[in-house]
Amino acid sequence: MLLTRILSALVMGVVLAIALFGVGEQGWALAMLVLTGIAAWEWGALSGLGRAGRGVATALIVAACVIVDYACQLPSGGFDRSRVMLLMGVAALFWGGLVPWWLWRLPQGAPRLMLIAMAAPALVPAWLATVVLRFQGAGWLLCVMAIVWLADTSGYGFGRWLGRHKLAPRVSPGKTWEGVLGGLAVLLLYGVWLATGPAARALDALDLVPLLAGILFLGGMSVVGDLFESSLKRQAGVKDSGSLIPGHGGVLDRLDAQFSTLPLAVLLLHLSGVL
């Protein structure tokens, strides 16, 4: 199983590199649209929809992304900042307001329509955020995505090593406070490296303290995204959202924390004057 996970991760890394650097901005947007469609299909399954229902839900999410694409003037090579930030604000309300309430109350047997409707604010702004960050440069996107990778990997390691206190046992029994805090500690080091390393010139509009605070906030929101998807899987009674990626599950399993982090990163960069 470990070998399968490692090989799958290597393949995903190669595919990501090709998509980021080999197909251009429009090609990246299309590739992310395909992934978003797959995520919507898996979301439909977690919501209890049959194949026909999942097909309709997937088509609606993809159509919403295309409409947003043109409404935000992305095909022109730029973007309408006011419209983009409006959608990032919707995502912030969803991940910062509705989802924490959801995790706190853990509604059992929630109406199917509600489960399906939540896919839109979770998936569409995240797709838009990947496109906007890619327009700014592949380095920007990688720096933001690395926050989730570092928080997840180091959190898992610290949790296995020091984990004693469960973070949310009803949702994800394997997550611990020690793992979360260990991941945040690694993110602090990452923030210092960004501020003094290759990204220093691009981030010169930010002081070190606001930069570190923003990275820690995004690291915390990555945990929220992870827990939210875990709650959907628990309600559906499944271990993984899909089986597309050997050893890793489905697209939602790999990108859940990115969905909650990327839109908020765009919003923070905009408010700080960097983007």
Q: What is the largest CA-CA distance in the chain?
A: 52
pLDDT for position 185: 95
pLDDT at 275: 75
**Distance (Å, rounded) from C-alpha 194 to C-alpha 211?**
9
DSSP bridge partners of 168: 172
Give the bridge partners for 176, in sequence order. 166
State residue 72's pLDDT score: 84
Name the residue ranges covered by the structural domains of the chain: 2-271
pLDDT of residue 205: 56
Residues 186-217 have pLDDT tens digits of: 999 999 888 887 666 666 656 778 889 999 99
Q: For 227-240, what is the mean pLDDT?
A: 87
- Which of the two residues, 13 and 122, has the higher pLDDT score? 122
pLDDT higher at 16 or 1: 16
Can you give the pLDDT at residue 267? 94
Identify which of 199-203, 221-225, 244-248 has the greatest average pLDDT: 221-225
Does the structure show a pLDDT above 90 at 235?
no
Q: What is the per-residue pLDDT across 121-132, written as a single tens digit (0 to 9) for each?
A: 999 999 999 999
Q: What is the pLDDT of residues 171-181, one digit of tens each?
A: 888 889 999 99
- pTM score of the predicted model: 0.91
| Contact in structure between 151 and 223 (CB atoms under 8 Å) | yes
Q: Tell me the mean pLDDT in the region 234-249.
A: 78
> Cβ distance 189 to 197 under 8 Å?
no
Q: Which two tokens stand for residue 131?
A: 């496109």
At 203 the pLDDT is: 63
- Tell me the pLDDT tens digit for each residue of 53-78: 999 999 999 999 999 988 887 766 56
Indicate the angle between helix axes 208-236 and 24-46, nearest 10 degrees: 40
